[in-house]
Amino acid sequence: MTVHDMKHAASDSARLEAVGGRLSRVDGPAKITGAAKYAFEQQLDGLTHAVLVGATIAAGKVTAIDTRAAETAPGVLAVLTPDTIMELRGASDWFGNPPALSTYCPLAREVTFSGQHVAAVVAETFEQAVAAAALVKVWYDETPAIVDLSDGKAGDGIAIEAMTKEWGDAQAAFAEAPVRICAAYNTPREFQAAMEPHGLIARWQGDELTIWEPSQWLDGMARTYAEWFGVPFENVRLVSPYIGGGFGSKALALAHSAVAAAAAKMLGRPVKLVLNRPQNFTSYGGRAATRQTVAIGADRDGKIQSIVHRGVNETAVDGMWVEPLGSVTSIMYATPNFSSKQNVVRVNTVVPGAKRAPGENPSAFGIECAIDELAHELGIDPLEMRLINYAEQDPHTKKAWSTRQLREAFAAGAEAFGWAKRSPQPRSMRDGHQLIGWGVAAGTYPVRRAHGEAVVKILADGSVEVESSSIDMGQGTYTILAQTAAETVGVPVSQVSVKLGDSHFARAGVTGGSRLAGVMTGAVYKAAGQALDELVGLALSDPRSPFQALQANTLVVQDGRIASPRGEGPELSIAEFLSAVGRDQIEAKGDTLPVNTTPEQRYKNYTTIAMSIPHTEGDWSRYSWCAHFVEVRVDEDFGTVRVSRVVSALDSGRLYNPKLAESQWKGGIIMGIGQALLEEGIVDRRHGRIVNGNFADYMLPTNADIPDIQTISVGIPDPHSSALGGKGVGELAIVGIAPAIANAVFHATGKRVRDLPITLEKLI
């Protein structure tokens, strides 16, 4: 459990505090000073340390494991292999589908990727466990691996029918179109690369399990642990006070989590297991490598007649991941004819996973580069090209947009960037050795919605507490929930405490898909409203209440004080009032579920993603939107690309806290710069192994790579998307950055690079 007490919040201005105010992140000082204690920094008596042994082949069988030397090494408590680790039960997947197998072994007998866990050593100290793990000797019967999408053995893969989107006759319309472009766009395997590694501390007390683990989804992960060990859900407590970066990777309990929890059960002692940096590149999936072809047929005036799109993403031999590559392709532009299909190809990798805007991100790279190619082919300004083909409704569902401020984003971004001064010809702008290019691209992300709950308490001292098992991984949950509760109840933010990151609090679904703020502000708004109603009801009706004599219909609570709307009669602080009526607290649990929801449905709602609400439910199609304008400088001799300016205009609806939203947008833009220019998991094709699994060789942008970034909010409240009018923030801004940079590089150099990242050898 972690509490962020607003009493020290730097602001006393009501304008900053209200929903929509620019309150600074309340968890900031704790993080900056080092006071913030992360999940596996817990100090426990009798803590032991586990270290994993990874497979050194990408495919084959483990034929023997010699543990003798490790077992007799100093401090070693246990060496676990597939034969000696306790048997776990199979757990259902994140949709709640039951497992294919009734048992589960988190250590592999059949190896399907390099680095897969085959054994683990538990010792008194971390150093002893590391030393002993190096003594475990494993023999394999190796078989040929399929290393990546370009492997000759990979084949065409499996068609994913659910991804097919078609209307009109796309092939025929493309064939007849007077202007056609067709190109292939590739993105490599990328990693979330969070600063905080994955890991956990597991402790059993009887049949009760406590797990300290960075988590984007306490309830979902607690369910998995409960199922693995056959204990009731309530017996598992997951604690995740802070998360040092998740980016989609920390929503599931994984094989290493199972190893640690099993070891703790077997030894009867708490076990800490933290993946080392290379293991963070092989123990869970990053973004799958993708291949797309985009064909666009258009009139000579630039009006699109047809889009034909085909996509492929890699998945694992023993796991399925679909990166929806047609997601942006199908909605960004108006077209009378459309076809998108997708395959997945099994390769010997850990199963890929979610990384910021899975699907939309690579999808936008394809369509937003292709539209730029079409604009160049036709000699039309790429911004004008996008306006010519502006989708006035959702081209796929034919539903109206709930809100779509994309035209406004193009206008505001172009104005701030100075787009009108762009010289259209490639290689026409330079500064000494540097070729200058300007590029534009759009991005979008669906408004993913779900039901949520929260507890709001009004305490005897007049302060307000919010409780939720949702989490704050830096996006600002602590802060915006405090703002929501403060505004709803009518107290200063300094009187609100927010408690998050403990699965014993009010339940919460996954923090992913940019849904948390919309879900949780809605739940807190409801719970706080109920608490306020109860407070006012008590004041109007309780015989001991000083307000009872007023015979009023309602009362006003403002700045922590209760009064009648017209100011007649008494005025009391909440604390004075509660004391007068002899109550020590008011507690309300609010949720956004329908009233007749059963307990089973509630459990499913919070521990699976099966009850998410479609973004195209009912009459509306709900998305966030953005337009990115980018300037790059390319050294004409060296081929090095530096981004020198970014202006992005974004429509995330109403912003609950613009300061925090801008930070998330900038974070997405920075991650997009890394994706465009630097990031690539490089596989040794003989061994099927990532060879750059560390922070020196897996390139992430440094501060020196990032220019000033200007973000402009063009959103308006969207009542169809959330209770308070906001749309998604966290994932939106990365979508479209890579194509904007690629388009700018083309404008600078005349070279079209369609394979990310755009490294120097592709330009010299």
Partner 1 sequence: MRDFAYVRADSVEAARNAAALPGAMLLAGGTTLVDLAKCGVAEPATVIDISHIDGLNAIDVSADRAVFGALAKMSHVADNPQVKSLFPAVSEALWQAASAQLRNMATIGGNLMQRTRCPYFRDPANFPACNKRAPGSGCSAIGGVTRGHAVLGISEACIATYPGDLAVALVAFGAEVDLGERKLKVEDFFLAPGATAEREHDIRPGEVITAIEIPGSAVARRSTYVKVRDRQSYEFAAASAAVGLELEADRRTVHDIRVALGGVATKPWRVRAVEEALKGKPLDEDTVRKASELAMEGAVDHGANHYKIALAPRVIARAILKLGETA
- Applying CB under 8 A, the span of 147-155, 357-365, 609-617, 756-764 interacting with partner 1 comes to 756-764
Give 1 or 682: the residue with its C-beta nearer to partner 1: 682
Residue choice 56, 92, 601, 710 for contact with partner 1 (CB under 8 A): 56
Burial track 647-658 (b if 16+ CB lie within 10 A, e otherwise): bbbbbbbbbbbb
Question: Smallest distance from the beta carbon of 678 to partner 1, in angstroms?
Answer: 6
Pairing of strands 434-446, 430-431: antiparallel
Q: Is the distance from CB of 259 to CB of 118 less than 8 angstroms?
A: no
Nearer to partner 1, 432 or 594 (CB): 432
| Residue 752, number of CB atoms within 10 A of its CB | 15
SS3 (DSSP) at 302:
coil
- The stretch near partner 1 (CB under 8 A) out of 20-28, 123-131, 176-184, 718-726 is 123-131
Q: Closer to partner 1 by CB, 128 or 224: give it.
A: 128
Q: How far is the CB of 259 from partner 1 (least distance, A)?
A: 18
Render 323-379 in DSSP notation, one character per residue.
Answer: --TTTTTTTSB--SEEEEEEEEEEESSSPP---SSTTHHHHHHHHHHHHHHHHHHHT
Our finding on whether 686 is near partner 1 (CB under 8 A) is yes
Is 644 a residue that touches partner 1 (CB under 8 A)?
no
Site for partner 1 contains 114 (CB under 8 A) = yes
For residue 110, the SS3 value is strand
Classify 644 as helix, strand or coil: strand
CB of 201 to partner 1, least distance (A): 22
Q: How far is the CB of 698 from partner 1 (least distance, A)?
A: 11
Number of chain positions touching partner 1 (CB under 8 A): 38
Segment 240 to 299, residues that bind partner 1, using CB under 8 A: 278
Q: Please spell the DSSP secondary structure of 678-718, one letter per residue.
A: T----EETTTTEES--STTTS----GGG---EEEEE-----
**Cα dihedral 656, 660, 662, 665 sign:** negative
Counting beta carbons within 10 angstroms of the beta carbon of residue 762, is it exposed (0 to 12), middle (13 to 18) or buried (19 or more)?
middle
Spatial contact of 256 and 198, defined as CB atoms under 8 Å apart: yes
Q: Which amino acid is it at 387?
A: L
Strands 199-205 and 271-274, how do they pair?
antiparallel
Q: Is residue 494 a contact point for partner 1 (CB under 8 A)? A: no
Nearer to partner 1, 236 or 273 (CB): 273
Residue 760 makes contact with partner 1 by CB under 8 A: yes
| Residue 702 interacts with partner 1 (CB under 8 A): yes or no | yes
To the query of whether residue 731 is one of the catalytic residues in this protein, the response is: yes
Residue keyed to tokens 């459309």: 338
> Considering only residues 99, 699, 710, 750, which one is a binding residue for partner 1 as defined by CB under 8 A?
699
**Which region, judged by CB under 8 A, interacts with partner 1, from 130-138, 174-182, 288-296, 626-634?**
130-138
Residues 6+ apart with CB under 8 A from 762: 639, 751, 753, 755
Tokens representing residue 625 in the block: 């939107």
Could you please report the per-residue DSSP string of 117-145?
EEEEEEESSHHHHHHHHTT-EEEEEE---
Between the alpha carbon of residue 200 and those of residues 164, 264, 434, 694, the distances in Å are 39, 11, 48, 20
Binding of partner 1 at residue 687 (CB under 8 A)? yes
Catalytic residue among 392, 408, 731, 761: 731
Structure tokens at 122: 């538990």
- Site string (1-40) toward partner 1, x via CB under 8 A: ----------------------------------------
Which of positions 431-490 make contact with partner 1 (CB under 8 A)?
Answer: 433
Q: Does 130 bind partner 1 (CB under 8 A)?
A: yes
Q: Shortest distance, CB of residue 193 to partner 1, whole angstroms?
A: 14
- Cβ contacts of residue 97 below 8 Å, gap of 6+? none
Kindly tell me which of 231 and 699 has the beta carbon lying closer to partner 1.
Answer: 699
User: How many other C-beta atoms lie within 10 A of the C-beta of residue 619?
Assistant: 9
Minimum distance, C-beta of residue 62 to partner 1, in the bound complex (Å): 15
Q: Is 696 in the site for partner 1 (CB under 8 A)?
A: yes
| Per-residue interface string for the shown chain with partner 1, residues 603-642, x marking contact by CB under 8 A | --------------------------------x-xxxx-x
Q: Is 127 among the residues that bind partner 1 (CB under 8 A)?
A: yes
Q: In the stretch 411-440, what mask flags binding to partner 1 with x, by CB under 8 A? A: ----------------------x-------
Closest CB 269 distance from partner 1, rounded Å: 23
Using the minimum distance from each CB to partner 1, give the nearer residue, 559 or 697: 697
Residues in contact with partner 1 by the rule CB under 8 A: 54, 56, 114, 127, 130-131, 134, 278, 433, 635, 637-640, 642, 677-678, 682-684, 686-687, 689, 691-692, 696-697, 699, 701-705, 757, 759-761, 764
> Which residues are designated catalytic?
731
